[in-house]
Amino acid sequence: MASHRKSRTPGTRVAGIRTPALATAALTSVALLSQTADAAPGDDRPSLEEVEKKVGDLYRQAESATEKYNAAKEKTTKQRKRVDTLLDDVAQRTQKLNEARAELGSYAAAQYRTGAGMPDTATFLLAETPQDVFDQRQVLDRMTGRQKAAVDDYVTQQTETMKKRQEATESLRTLTETQGDLKTAKATVQKKLADARELLSKLTAEEKARLAAIEKRKQEEAARKAAELARQQAAQEQAREEAAQQSGGTSESSGSGSTGSVDTPPADSSYAAKAEKALAFARAQIGKPYVWGATGPGSYDCSGLTQAAWKAAGVSLPRTTYDQVNAGTTVPVSQAQPGDLVFFYDDVTHVGIYIGNGMMIHAPKPGTYVREESIYYDGDSAIHSIVRPA
């Protein structure tokens, strides 16, 4: 980062003589030294701004991988339950098949002992494919009574067992693939976080202090923008109330610092009541650490926090930001109300819960804690959309 120290006025005196050319050259040297100070030691070392941007990018990439991990984990859990259900079903059907086989075998043994001329019942025990089953059904017309019923039951059990075994095999294959996706996403998260830690570890104490100063300035700018949004929303609320009074109606405010425009009324009271519960839960989590993939109660990632908060209000949200962004009605930033979800970045990899006055509660990134922060914490362009989930 270029130095913020003011350069001296051209025309510096050297040994009592005014030498503009020498002063200019000296100042140029100072500027160059100042610029390279951020990169020292080594000409190939990135500037502080480059490090700050790289670290931010790595954290966002880690969060993107976290959401992919969350999706794969959720899919794996569902797939594992399906596999378990299918395997239980296969076990039960296999038991019934064995019972049917035993009964059919008793008829085959009786035929063998008596030399009866009835079709060979034992051949039904050799069926291995659906075609075998179909072919063997043709002899059923020559059977009667309990023998026919036994064969029919055996064939039915065999067909259903084959079908369920195939389903279980396919589900196991899908589960294996999903577990592979889960493993890949986990490795990606860990790699991005390790890269970010490595970059930060190379900074000197002075550079870390300057990096903190950069972050502080960003936070101050974000707070200014949040305050401006709060003023705009307050003005909209006042205008709406005045319009309602002039028309003889009443105004329904849903909360401090968040309202719709004059043409768009705020969310109804039922939403406000649910949002209040969601926000009460979110506030109670402030100070708990961000842990990727976590859904509480001791730690959270961003979507884990919003899911848990709205669950406390009786509303079920999907697990990932990719799905949560579609779980409600999109509204303009100027009409955001407490409880709304604020999504960030083009790939929708971060989310917070709006609390009014341009502020939100969110689980920011690894190494941080659940906290209140301006929705402009990463600039205007970082905001993807505002979604009202209930």
* Per-residue model confidence as pLDDT tens digits over 293-309: 999 999 999 999 999 99
**Which of these, 78, 68, 52, lies nearest to 292 by C-alpha position?**
68
Q: What is the mean pLDDT of residues 325-341?
A: 96
384 is an active site residue: no
Active-site hit among 350, 365, 384, 388: 350
pLDDT at 273: 95
Indicate the helix (H) or strand (E) that contains 123.
none
Strand partners, 290: 300
**What pLDDT is stored for residue 12 in this prediction?**
40
Catalytic residue, chosen from 83, 185, 302, 353, is 302
How many other CB atoms are found less than 10 A from the CB of residue 155?
20
* pLDDT band, residue 96 (cuts 50/70/90): confident
Measuring CA to CA, which residue among 229, 211, 366 is closest to residue 291? 366
Mean pLDDT of 325-339: 95
Least confident of 211-225, 252-266, 354-368: 252-266
Determine the pLDDT at residue 92. Answer: 85
CB 191 within 8 A of CB 102: no
Q: What is the DSSP string of 133-198?
A: HHHHHGGGGG--HHHHHHHHHHHHHHHHHHHHHHHHHHHHHHHHHHHHHHHHHHHHHHHHHHHHHH
CA atoms of 345 and 285, how far apart (whole Å): 24
347 pLDDT above the threshold of 50 = yes
Residue 314 CB coordination number (10 Å):
11
Give the ranges where the chain is alpha helix by DSSP (H): 20-37, 48-114, 130-137, 145-201, 205-246, 269-284, 302-312, 321-324
Please tell me the pTM assigned to this model.
0.69
Range name among 20-34, 62-76, 111-125 with the lowest pLDDT average? 20-34
Distances (CA, A) of 343 to 251, 306, 311, 349, 386: 29, 11, 18, 8, 6
| More confident call, 132 vs 141 | 132
**Which pair of tokens denotes residue 380?**
């205007």
Q: Hey, what are 220's tokens? A: 């101050």
What pLDDT is attached to residue 282? 98
pLDDT surpasses 80 at 262: no
Q: To the nearest whole percent, how much of the chain has pLDDT over 70?
A: 72
302 is catalytic: yes
- What was the pLDDT predicted at 134? 60
8 Å CB contact between 376 and 355: no
Residue 369 phi/psi, 5-degree rounding, is -130, 160
Would the pLDDT of 16 be above 50?
no
Q: Which of these, 330, 345, 237, 217, lies nearest to 225 by C-alpha position?
A: 217
pLDDT for res 20: 41
Answer with the residue of higher pLDDT: 313 or 90.
Answer: 313
Report the DSSP beta bridge partners of residue 341. Answer: 353, 387
How far apart are alpha carbons 238 and 261 in whole angstroms? 10
Residues forming a β-bridge with 300: 290, 295
Q: Mean pLDDT lowest for which of 39-53, 58-72, 129-143?
A: 129-143
Q: Mean pLDDT over residues 227-252, rounded?
A: 81
- Of 318 and 37, the structure prediction assigns the larger pLDDT to 318
Q: What does the pLDDT read at residue 333?
A: 95
* pLDDT band at residue 70 using 50, 70 and 90 as cut-offs: very high
Please tell me the distance from the alpha carbon of residue 340 to that of residue 128, in angstroms, as a whole number.
Answer: 58
18: three-class secondary structure by DSSP: strand
Residue 122: pLDDT above 60? no
Residue 93: pLDDT band (50, 70, 90) is confident
Interatomic CA distance for residues 184 and 238, integer angstroms: 52
% of the chain exceeding 90 in pLDDT: 49
- Taking 70 as the threshold, does the pLDDT of residue 256 lie above it? no
Residue 267 backbone phi and psi in degrees, to 5:
-60, 155
Higher pLDDT, 153 or 249: 153
Q: pLDDT higher for 65 or 12?
A: 65
Q: Are strands 13-14 and 350-356 parallel, antiparallel or unpaired?
A: unpaired
What is the Cα 77 distance to its own chain's centre? 15
Identify the band that residue 33 occupies on the pLDDT scale cut at 50, 70 and 90: very low
Ranked by mean pLDDT, the top range of 14-23, 146-155, 256-265, 278-287 is 278-287
Question: Band of the pLDDT at 239, cuts 50, 70, 90?
Answer: confident
Q: List, as own/partner pairs, every contact residues 294-303 make where C-beta atoms lie below 8 angstroms and the sequence separation is at least 24, other chains included.
A: 295/319, 300/363, 300/370, 301/63, 301/66, 301/70, 301/363, 302/63, 302/350, 302/351, 302/352, 302/362, 302/363, 302/364, 303/67, 303/70, 303/351
In the set 186, 362, 384, 388, the catalytic residue is 362
Q: Which pLDDT score, from 0 to 100, does residue 370 have? A: 98
Cα Rg for the chain, rounded, in angstroms?
35
Question: For residue range 351-373, what is the model confidence (pLDDT) as tens digits?
Answer: 999 999 999 999 999 889 999 99
